[in-house]
Structure 1
Amino acid sequence: MADGVHDKDFIIGNMPTGLNVEASKGPPEGIQISNVLSLRQDIDNLGLAGKIWQSAYTLQSYFSPDNGLVLDPPNPIPSAFYNKHDSSTNSDVKDNGDTTKKPYTILELGAGTGYCGIAIANMLGSDCQVYITDLEPVIPLIEENVQEHHIQDGAHAQVFCERLHWGNHQDSKRLLDKVGGQFDLVVISDCVYFPELFELLMDTLLDLCKVDNVDTKVVIGYKCRSLEKETGFWDHHFGRYFDYEPARILGDNNCNKDKKEEDGTDDEDDEDSNIGRPLGYEEQIYVFVGSRRAGNQIKAADDRFALLMFCAMDY
């Protein structure tokens, strides 16, 4: 570990008293994804950072064009940036930008094993860059998993493993400078759980999503564990600066319907029961899609999270 400050934050975020978690054995039942990655996990040495958490699988499904679902908000990555040789690419995903000017850049915060960043990079073409970040002690595990599981054939996205200490403005500036001042997408998977780290996480999000960078999207995979502790992040931190909404299921696309009919498993009532539900609702996992408010609009507080959770409980 680099210094005393890094040691303290690493321990707070990853080595809580009474830590008792096991390595992940795969995605939760309600999340349907292909190409599950078998990354190395290291809970003994890295604690919470050494485990693949459920939100990572949920985000893999959200960003995957072959998930068979119509979602709102839709995947913000334009289809033009997906690997053209990947049979999973869905041409129905709308393009929303000029792909010739600069690479599409993605940064993952608090990546842990690197699962989410690697899974996304393996879907994308060579005109994309994925920066997978965490504290210094976690980087070797990420680098190992990238080496073993990232498709490095020149046709897929470039991957960079970088230190980014939450609240460290120099770290954020260094990474922004590498991509010309703005990331297209910031991804966060299962990082909202310790109130002691909420302010540091927000400091970094505000660094990365500056007022004049309103086009930067933020996608957060969130597993509900303690509403009493976690509501504060959404109401008094993230919601003050960002507008956001949960990804909801609007239905199955035609390809998935055809497959159900071929398998003899088409069930209209079952399909209708999913419409309007948040992606991952079976496991109380949610995908929130947000962006910084323009013109430095800051709310005193934001209560939409409590309303969203109340509505989700109806399912």
Structure 2
Amino acid sequence: MNPNFPPGLSIFHSSCPPTFRFALDADVKDPGGFLSAEAQDSAIAKFGIAGRIWEAAYVLMLYVRNLDAFEFDPRIDFGPRAVAVELGAGTGAAGLALAAAHPYARVVLTDLPEVCPLLQNNARGYPGVEVRALAWGCTAHARALRDELGLTPISHIICSDLVYFPELLAPLLRTLLHLTTPSQSSASLGTCPKVIMSYKIRSLSKETAFWSAFGLWFTFVPVFWRARAEDNRSWERFDAGGDGEVFLFVAGRKEESFFWTVPEDDVALLEGVGAKGTYDDRFELLLLMNEYRACE
């Protein structure tokens, strides 16, 4: 099955949530017009689900821009030597928003080889943005990207709306493990990239398996926010629509996990084989929380 054209595909363009529209429309460069409804519908016809800007992408787009009007916890800084890789980039909306806000950062957009033409078209007008083929679970693709970057290791991995098809959950986790494992040229384990992942709940019963396995290898916390102009406002979990169905996480590898063996079998990977445990309930605890507090 082509993951970008699942059976019964019937989708159309998305639009930015009203809460964020003023912030995203202010100065996001869109030389190719790929944010428009017409451009999305045209891309969907040619590239399937990769041509749509999915809901969680808007949350990530706002977060990576670090606008002065908002305060985030945790806050991510993209320094002058930042190297950000977007997985399953599709239209590249999140990665290009990052590139527009942090022109000194090196941004690499990745997706399946057949989606790369879409990314290359949308990246026109963004000097320094690169496009590379990277199929999830493909060790050769991940190794090629790391080798190409060489002594400039990845500092951030960004992902939006990637947790959906059950058959892609293990390959996605495997690629995250490939890209966050320090190379021999890394000075220390401290060079491990941060993973910024936005996620919209679609089929919780199918998607929980990813988060329970992800939590064995990574520590992750939800992002909170508040308006800077409202100092007395309480922190709230960052969610585009306010319906509690969109999460934004910042994650990092557990240091002990660098010494574990990643199983080659996908089922074994999701079942926790190789990790020091078989299940992590961090995500379920977040779902059960009635009130959210800022992370300490």
Kindly indicate whether the alpha-carbon contact (under 8 Å) linking 1:30 and 1:282 is maintained by their aligned counterparts in 2. no
1:67 deviates by 5.6
Tell me what 1:307 maps to: 285
Kindly indicate whether the alpha-carbon contact (under 8 Å) linking 1:61 and 1:67 is maintained by their aligned counterparts in 2. no
1:46 deviates by 1.5
Q: Secondary structure at the match of 1:30?
A: helix
Q: Matches of 2:82 and 2:292 in 1, distance apart?
A: 38
Tell me what 2:240 maps to: 280
Tell me what 2:117 maps to: 140
Tell me what 1:90 maps to: none
Tell me what 1:252 maps to: 227
Q: Residue type matched to 1:71 in 2?
A: F
TM-score (ref. length: structure 2): 0.79
Q: Residue type matched to 2:166 in 1?
A: P
Candidates 159, 170, 185, aligned match of 1:188: 159
Identical pairs, percent: 33
- Mark the CA change 1:313 to 1:28 in structure 2 (over 3 Å): closer, same or farther: farther
- Superposed counterparts of 1:217-256, under 5 Å: 217-236=194-213, 238-249=214-225, 251-253=226-228, 256=229
Structure 1 residue runs of 5 or longer lacking an equivalent are 1-7, 82-102, 153-157, 258-267
- Mark the CA change 1:312 to 1:171 in structure 2 (over 3 Å): closer, same or farther: farther
1:279 deviates by 3.7
Q: Secondary structure at the match of 2:242?
A: helix
Q: How many residue pairs are counted as aligned between the two chains?
A: 256
Whether 1:111 aligns to 2:111 is no
1:70 deviates by 1.4
- Superposed counterparts of 1:72-83, under 5 Å: 72-78=73-79, 81=80
Kindly indicate whether the alpha-carbon contact (under 8 Å) linking 2:86 and 2:108 is maintained by their aligned counterparts in 1. yes
Deviations 1:254-294 (A, max 9, x none): xx45xxxxxxxxxx8xx73x523334361522111000111
1:217 deviates by 0.1
Q: Secondary structure at the match of 2:131?
A: strand
Q: Matches of 1:244 and 1:118 in 2, distance apart?
A: 24
Kindly indicate whether the alpha-carbon contact (under 8 Å) linking 1:277 and 1:312 is maintained by their aligned counterparts in 2. no
Q: Secondary structure at the match of 1:16?
A: coil
1:232 deviates by 0.9
Q: Secondary structure at the match of 1:122?
A: helix
1:31 deviates by 2.9
Kindly indicate whether the alpha-carbon contact (under 8 Å) linking 2:236 and 2:292 is maintained by their aligned counterparts in 1. no
1:194 deviates by 0.8
Tell me what 1:5 maps to: none
Candidates 100, 106, 114, aligned match of 1:129: 106
Tell me what 2:140 maps to: 170
Q: Matches of 2:218 and 2:84 in 1, distance apart?
A: 18
Whether 1:198 aligns to 2:169 is yes
Q: Matches of 1:189 and 1:213 in 2, distance apart?
A: 24
Q: Matches of 2:253 and 2:87 in 1, distance apart?
A: 17
Q: Matches of 2:44 and 2:106 in 1, distance apart?
A: 28
Deviations 1:147-190 (A, max 9, x none): 1xx443xxxxx111110011111111111112226300000111
Q: Matches of 2:101 and 2:149 in 1, distance apart?
A: 20
Q: Matches of 2:218 and 2:77 in 1, distance apart?
A: 16
1:312 deviates by 5.9
- Mark the CA change 1:234 to 1:121 in structure 2 (over 3 Å): closer, same or farther: same
TM-score (ref. length: structure 1): 0.75
Kindly indicate whether the alpha-carbon contact (under 8 Å) linking 2:221 and 2:251 is maintained by their aligned counterparts in 1. yes
Kindly indicate whether the alpha-carbon contact (under 8 Å) linking 1:59 and 1:287 is maintained by their aligned counterparts in 2. yes
Tell me what 1:15 maps to: 5
Q: Matches of 1:180 and 1:308 in 2, distance apart?
A: 37
Q: Residue type matched to 1:294 in 2?
A: E
Q: Matches of 1:286 and 1:76 in 2, distance apart?
A: 20
Kindly indicate whether the alpha-carbon contact (under 8 Å) linking 2:17 and 2:241 is maintained by their aligned counterparts in 1. no
Q: Secondary structure at the match of 2:50?
A: helix
Q: Residue type matched to 1:21 in 2?
A: I
